[in-house]
Amino acid sequence: MDKLIITAAIVGAEVMRADTPYLPITPEEIADQAKQVYDAGASIVHLHVRDKDGMPSQDKEIYAETIHLIKQRCDIIIQVSTGGAVGMSDEERLQPISLSPEMATLTTGTVNFGKDVFLNTPKQLIRFATEMQKYGVCPEFEIFDAGMIANAMYLVKKGYITGHLHFDFVLGVPGAIPATADHLLFLIRQLPVSASWSVAGIGANQLRMATFGILLGGHVRVGLEDNIYYRKGELATNKALIQRVVRIAEELDRPISTSGEARTMLKL
């Protein structure tokens, strides 16, 4: 197996400070927690930002400030979100791409998302993929349901995406594919042999899916974006969630990747 790449999803767009006091909001707080998870064993930070009121934002200037502060603190791979928050326009969602981060998420399909709908039409997918190619950004295909893999491979077939293919299976979102071992195995079997993958479990599914990811030779995403609890009734911190994955991986003799090693594996 390759060394384990751990992605820390430390902010997100749905969790609020009222839900947990451990959620970073300001660029300084986000950068400080990026350094904490890097030191704990994460090699990628999946990045959302917030405005001065703590609300989800895709503002390019906030991203630029936050990325600058993170780079001052550590060498973690920065992966910006192009999902933003449900209901944002394409123009809003695409803003951080022009900063040429190393990676960005690319959700390849429309999905029910709790009480909302996360819209990603075929036309939008081509536009987002084209922008990532233009600015030299490596996409991570975010997969909420099985058909999104076929959509991703269409972009590859048509030449909108080139280079190494990396997928992240986000399992357990209400309205999308449930977080089970059977579903994860089914998704893995749809991938090209040369592709790499990670898995993110939502809520109480996070620990179980992370363990499956380690055992099956994939990679893992954890963090407060996906789950605010360490165990039932006990709020987590981003650092503690990373540390737990590292301990499990060590018990299973799966070495942890550095950010440099992750760059090599992902061909960044």
Task: Specify if 64 maps to a domain.
Answer: yes
DSSP letter for each residue of 188-216:
HTTS-TT-EEEEEE-GGGHHHHHHHHHHT
Task: Specify if 11 maps to a domain.
Answer: yes
| Torsion sign over Cα 49, 55, 56, 61 | negative
SS (H, E, C) 160-174: CCCCCCEEEEEECCC
In this structure, what CATH number is given to the domain that contains residue 41? 3.20.20.70
Nearest CA to 200 out of 186, 177, 221 is that of: 221
- The reported pLDDT for the residue numbered 259 is 98
Task: Specify if 1 maps to a domain.
Answer: no
Task: Specify if 102 maps to a domain.
Answer: yes
Task: Specify if 252 maps to a domain.
Answer: yes
Task: Specify if 129 maps to a domain.
Answer: yes
Triad 71, 85, 155: Cα angle to 5°? 80
The answer to whether the CB of 114 falls within 8 A of the CB of 174 is yes
Triad 153, 79, 229: Cα angle to 5°? 105
Task: Specify if 79 maps to a domain.
Answer: yes
> Number of folded domains in the chain?
1
| Interatomic CA distance for residues 40 and 52, integer angstroms | 28
- The reported pLDDT for the residue numbered 1 is 86
Instruction: Confirm whether pTM is higher than 0.95.
Output: yes
Compute mean pLDDT per 10 residues along the chain, 268 residues long, and list them.
Answer: 97 97 98 98 98 97 98 98 94 98 98 94 98 98 98 98 97 97 98 97 98 98 98 97 98 98 98
| Residue 131: domain span | 6-266
Task: Specify if 187 maps to a domain.
Answer: yes
